Amino acid sequence: MTKQRITIMLCAVLFCAALGVYAPLKSSVLETERRLASAFPELPHGISSGKIKKFCAGIDRFYADHFPLRSTILSAASVIFAYTGNHYDTSRCYQGKSNWLFLGNDYSKCVDKLTGKESLNENQIERMAAKYSRLQRLVDSGASQFLILIGPNKSTIYGEHLPGFIFPSRVRYISPLVAKLRAMNIDVYDPTERLMSFKSNRLLYYRTDTHWNLLGAYVAFEGLREYAKWPPLFPATFKNVPSKHGDLVNIGGYTSFHIIDDDTFSLNDFHIQSSPSQDDTITTVQASSDKAVWVFGDSFTEALKPFIQAQFRTVRYFKHDDFKKVMKSDAPRPDIVLWVVVERNFAE
């Protein structure tokens, strides 16, 4: 018997012995993480590369959860990260550098998408492309223009402020879907490059909030306006105003958090008067365009409103879930339908 065979057999014996020690263990509660520890995986029924890969991944999770002194080590790491101003728990909210807070993985797996742990497969791309194609067909039936505006995640724009244990993937999660939609002639505007080029001047997102601020919304909308070839807006200037705690302070469970007054702005000398009607149509007489727009959006729409209303004569705002009902209604169709969606939900 050769030395190579002896070595292989010895490794196999040690591996089986290790499995024998751990296999009887059942799933237990990990108190520090408030979840069940992974149970030992069932042996695969049949042999295939996919089943073996899944079984080995289960073993990997099992050993990671049952590693000796795991809770003690993680507790010590928590103290170290808290002392240095960071926190390793990325489930709901985590702290980055320079008093930046970022949204955690409980929200659309945004951390896994950022780091490349999650990626879009072909079936997901096709499914999402079919969804946006259906939206476009509903719009086209009324001869309106359909545009999608993506609101980039704060972690996409301000990756330099992420904590040292978060490493963004070189391939962005949404890129394959954006490319697919553009190949289908669906208008998608992603202002990421524009925001990146403007961010060295003043902050475009809030330090303690998930959203872009008024200035960031303006930079993104100006990019969309140029992309869509809409008429120029009236000049807008901005001034700093006192900052407040953003939504991430509550999401992260902070009882207090140091605020820096450099991320909040108000419009200065932007005198655009808009008035709502009984059907929630907002009319702006001095708008740059006499066109009408329907905006279907999420919370990233809020900071865009002053610029949307300065651009279009009439505006109506809806939630994403209202789309099918509204587009099939008897209401007179607008010239433009704008779909505003934050990056983490764009490919859901």
pLDDT one-digit tens code per residue, 40-49:
777 777 777 6
pLDDT in tens, 98-131: 889 999 999 999 999 999 999 999 999 999 999 9
Among the residue ranges 13-17, 212-216, 283-287, the one predicted with the least confidence is: 13-17
Is residue 44 located within the same domain as residue 115?
A: no
Q: Is the pLDDT of residue 212 over 70?
A: yes
pLDDT-derived band at 320, boundaries 50, 70, 90:
very high
Q: Are residues 83 and 208 in the same domain?
A: no
Same domain, 313 and 199: yes
**Domain assignment of residue 47, given as a range:** 40-87
Q: Pick 201 or 96 by higher pLDDT.
A: 96
Mean pLDDT of the chain: 85
Write down the pLDDT at residue 147.
97
φ and ψ of 299, to 5 deg = -65, -20
Q: What is the pLDDT of residue 82?
A: 47
73 and 205 fall within a common domain: no
In-domain check, residue 27: no
Pairing of strands 265-268, 237-240: antiparallel
Same domain, 196 and 155: yes
- Of the candidates 148, 120, 124, which has an alpha carbon nearest to the alpha carbon of residue 323? 148
Any domain includes 17:
no
Assess if residue 313 is contained within a domain. Answer: yes
Indicate whether 204 and 125 sit together in one domain. yes
pLDDT band at 31 (very low <50, low <70, confident <90, very high): very low
Q: Does 11 score more than 70 pLDDT?
A: no
Query: pLDDT grade, residue 24 (50/70/90)?
Result: very low
Evaluate if residue 294 carries a pLDDT over 80.
yes
Which among 118, 228, 122 is positioned nearest to 180, based on CA atoms?
122
Give domain status of residue 93, yes or no: no
Q: Does one domain contain both 233 and 292? A: yes
Question: At residue 69, does pLDDT exceed 80?
Answer: no
Residue 19 falls inside a structural domain: no
310, 288 in Cβ contact below 8 A? Answer: yes
pLDDT at 35 over 50: no
Look up the pTM and report it.
Answer: 0.75
Whether 164 and 289 share a structural domain:
yes
Using the structure block, give the residue that is written with the tokens 């006192």.
242
* Of 52, 87, 122, the domain-final residue: 87
Q: Please give the average per-residue pLDDT across 76-91, as a whole number.
A: 56
Asked whether residue 4 is assigned to any structural domain, the reply reads no
Residue 246's closest CA among 299, 298, 295, 194? 299
H/E run at residue 249: helix 247-251
Average pLDDT, integer, range 243-272: 90
> 149-181 burial, b for 16+ CB within 10 Å, e for fewer?
bbbbbbbbbbbebbbeebebeeebbbebbbebb
**Residue 238 reports pLDDT greater than 80:** yes
pLDDT for 70: 55
Give residue 278's pLDDT band: very low, low, confident or very high (50, 70, 90). low
**Residue 16: per-residue pLDDT:** 58
